[in-house]
Structure 1
Amino acid sequence: MTTIYFIRHGQASFGAESYDKLSPKGEIQAKILGEYLHKILKEEPYIVAGSMHRHQQTATISLNECFPHAKIHTNSAWNEFNHQQVFAKYDELFAQPQVLKKLVSQQDDPYQYLSDTFAHAIERWTSNEYSDEYDESWPQFKLRVENALQNLCDELTKIKPRYAVVYTSGGVISVLAGKVLELDIPKTFSLTWAIANASLTTCRLIHDEPQILSLNEHHYLKVEDPELLTWI
């Protein structure tokens, strides 16, 4: 029986010219993640990572602490949706990440402001009215993630490793959790906002079907330093 750990990447560089790289705090999260994996995994896992830089960085840094010679199977099917485009299509002011970061910093409650903006942007993206405006529509993204999950389960059923680790993003983890738990769209994306950086969502593979064991495990970071808990 295989246990699958779906890991959200460490904190990326919000508001920077390139979001797709770990912040200094994200690098620390990845290192501590690796130390934690070293404690809980009794043998080398089958490893998959999205092709985004933040996925690869998180994988490399964490694996250096536990399985430095492990092979990483890179698969872009595990990449996040284009959240910057989703923001920008909702409000063109957000086309430049620096503008969004400035607007957020000016709010009395920055987290709530960003959460509300995200919710409205996602609502627009997931409606049928504007699908052709996006490089990847909501149905396309959902299908991509669900296919990635099924293909992974099929592969793991064949090779039967004790563990598998997948480095990906919050939106991807939310969609796969939403599929397994049969959640509607609003509830699916409410998970996205709750999933912490470098957190673990765990599934057990029964035959070729995933069963969720845990969602959004991040207490190992909180024990190390509460300041390491981030969601953006």
Structure 2
Amino acid sequence: MTTIYFVRHGQASFGAESYDQLSPNGELQAKLLGQYFDQILKEAPYVVAGAMQRHQQTTQIALAQCFPEAGVDTNAAWNEFNHQQVFAQYEPRFNQPHLLKQDVAQHKDPRAYLGQIFEGAIARWTGGEFHHEYDESWPEFKARVEGALVNLCQQLAQTKPRYAVVFTSGGVISVIAGKLLELNANRTFALNWAIANTSLTTVRLVGTEPQLLSLNEHHFIKAQRPDLLTWI
């Protein structure tokens, strides 16, 4: 029976010209994750990663701590939705990432304020009226992720590794959890806001059917370096 670990990437570079690279904190998170894998995985896993830079960096840093010889399959089906476009369609000035970071930093409760923006932007993206304004609509993203999950489960049912690890993003993991828990879009993205960087969401494969075992495990960071816990 295969256990699949879905990993959210380490902290990326929020507000930078290119979000898609790990911050120094993100690199440390990925290292802690790899050390944790070295403790809990008894043999090398099958590894797949999204094609984004933050996915690849998290993968390489983590594997260097536990299974440096492991091969990695790269699959863009595990990529995140274009969150910068989702923010910009909600508020055009956020097309410049530094302006979003600036607004958030100036607020008395930055995380709560960013949460309000995120909620509004996601509601517009998933609401149905504006699907045509996005390069990838909510239904298209949801179908892509659910298709990637089906394909992965079918592959693993044939090859039967003990473990599989998927390095991806919070939105992708939320869609998977939402699918397995039969959540609507609003509740699915409420999960997304809570998923910590380099946290683990685990799924057990029974035949070709995935069953959710855990969501958003990040105790391995909290126990060693609680100062490294991030959600953005």
TM-score for both structures, normalised by structure 2: 1.00
Match of 2:129 in 1: 129
Match of 1:119 in 2: 119
Q: Which runs of 4+ in 1 moved over 4 A?
A: none
Match of 2:41 in 1: 41
Q: Distance in 2 between matches of 1:34 and 1:50?
A: 17
Cα shift at 1:93: 1.1
Aligned residues: 232
Q: Distance in 1 between matches of 2:148 and 2:116?
A: 29
SS of equivalent to 1:118: helix
Paired letter, 2:61: I
Q: Distance in 2 between matches of 1:225 and 1:7?
A: 18
Match of 2:208 in 1: 208
Paired letter, 2:77: A
Q: Distance in 1 between matches of 2:24 and 2:207?
A: 40
Match of 1:21 in 2: 21
SS of equivalent to 1:80: coil
Match of 2:189 in 1: 189
Match of 1:31 in 2: 31
Q: Distance in 2 between matches of 1:177 and 1:215?
A: 8
Map 1:46-195 onto structure 2 (within 5 A): 46-195=46-195
CA RMSD for the aligned pairs? 0.4
Cα shift at 1:127: 1.4
Q: Distance in 2 between matches of 1:99 and 1:217?
A: 32
Match of 1:3 in 2: 3
Q: Distance in 2 between matches of 1:181 and 1:73?
A: 27
Paired letter, 1:183: L
SS of equivalent to 1:167: strand
Residue 199 (structure 1) aligned with residue 199 (structure 2): yes
Cα shift at 1:204: 0.3
Cα shift at 1:225: 1.2
The gaps in structure 2 that reach 5 residues or longer are: none
Cα shift at 1:201: 0.1
Match of 1:230 in 2: 230
TM-score for both structures, normalised by structure 1: 1.00
Q: Distance in 1 between matches of 2:128 and 2:188?
A: 17
The gaps in structure 1 that reach 5 residues or longer are: none
